[in-house]
Amino acid sequence: MQYLTKLTLNLIKKSLNFTCYKLVIVENLSMKAMKINKITFLVLIMHSFCNLQSQDYTAKREKMVKKQIEARGVSDKDVLNAMEKVERHLFVLQEYLDRAYDDCPLPIGEGQTISQPYIVALMTELLELNKKKKVLEIGTGSGYQAAILAELAGEVYTIELIDTLGKKAGKILDKLSYSNIHIKIGDGYQGWPENAPFDGIIVTCSPTKVPEPLKEQLAEGGIMVIPIGEHYVQELAVITKKEGKLIQRGVTGVRFVPMKDEKGNKY
């Protein structure tokens, strides 16, 4: 037990950097005449600022859903609730934490990105999911889209070409206790025939044409949401299968990373 002087407090401020991102201590905090154990003090400070950070992210998610997603026309309440529940900041790189709820895609490493929140919500809504449905995702990436899908679908099968991204996403999703998400490292163009057919297929990278294996693995009455086109000129398409025939309609212009095979060649 000892008095904490201003000098000691300043040293603490300069030296500490917590994984609940950054510890900020109000400049004019006065410790005069306060006798307290250093460890207890630091624990209290950590707990307090982690709670403040959590509240800040909650407010940002609420704003994101209202201003970026609902205002643009996404109206499915289950989708909106999922977007408000899933913590996007857990899926972004630490250097982009302050932009986790911005209205834009963000880099996640390996030349890949986490999609703009609105696009995630829009594509999810277009799938018309419920807990009786099984969905396939091509391009796990950060795992964020898979988490949103898992809130709405019964089972989620997701394929990631890049080993490091797939494993990292798997660890995050396991930590968040998503038991209905199944991840495979491999070429998404080929789909996941062992678990087909799928009621929904969502593709988060852009081929120039709809992959034939994915057409075959779409269930009767199922919906596929996929960006199609060259790297800078793509259209988000919705494909439904009715009586074995595929019906395609365009939704909006988008920009996704290209779909590639294991050798890096574009499909």
CATH code of the domain containing 194: 3.40.50.150
Domain membership flag for residue 62 = no
Bin 42: left if φ > 0, else alpha if -120 < ψ < 50, else beta: alpha
Q: Which residues of the chain register pLDDT less than 70? A: 1-55
Position 53 scores a pLDDT of 57
Position 231 scores a pLDDT of 75
The DSSP H or E segment spanning 241 is: strand 234-242
Position 168 scores a pLDDT of 97
User: Which residue range is the domain that position 14 belongs to?
Assistant: 2-57
Same domain, 206 and 114: yes
The C-alpha atoms of residue 204 and residue 119 are separated, in whole angstroms, by 10
Position 213 scores a pLDDT of 98
DSSP string, 61-85: HHHIIIIIIGGGT---HHHHHHHHH
Position 54 scores a pLDDT of 57
Same domain, 110 and 239: yes
Same domain, 121 and 232: yes
What rounded mean pLDDT belongs to the chain? 86
Q: Each residue of 169-226: pLDDT tens digit?
A: 999 999 999 999 999 999 999 999 999 999 999 999 999 999 999 999 999 999 999 9
pTM of the model: 0.80
Q: Which residues are catalytic?
A: 115
Domain membership flag for residue 266 = no
Position 55 scores a pLDDT of 62
Position 232 scores a pLDDT of 73
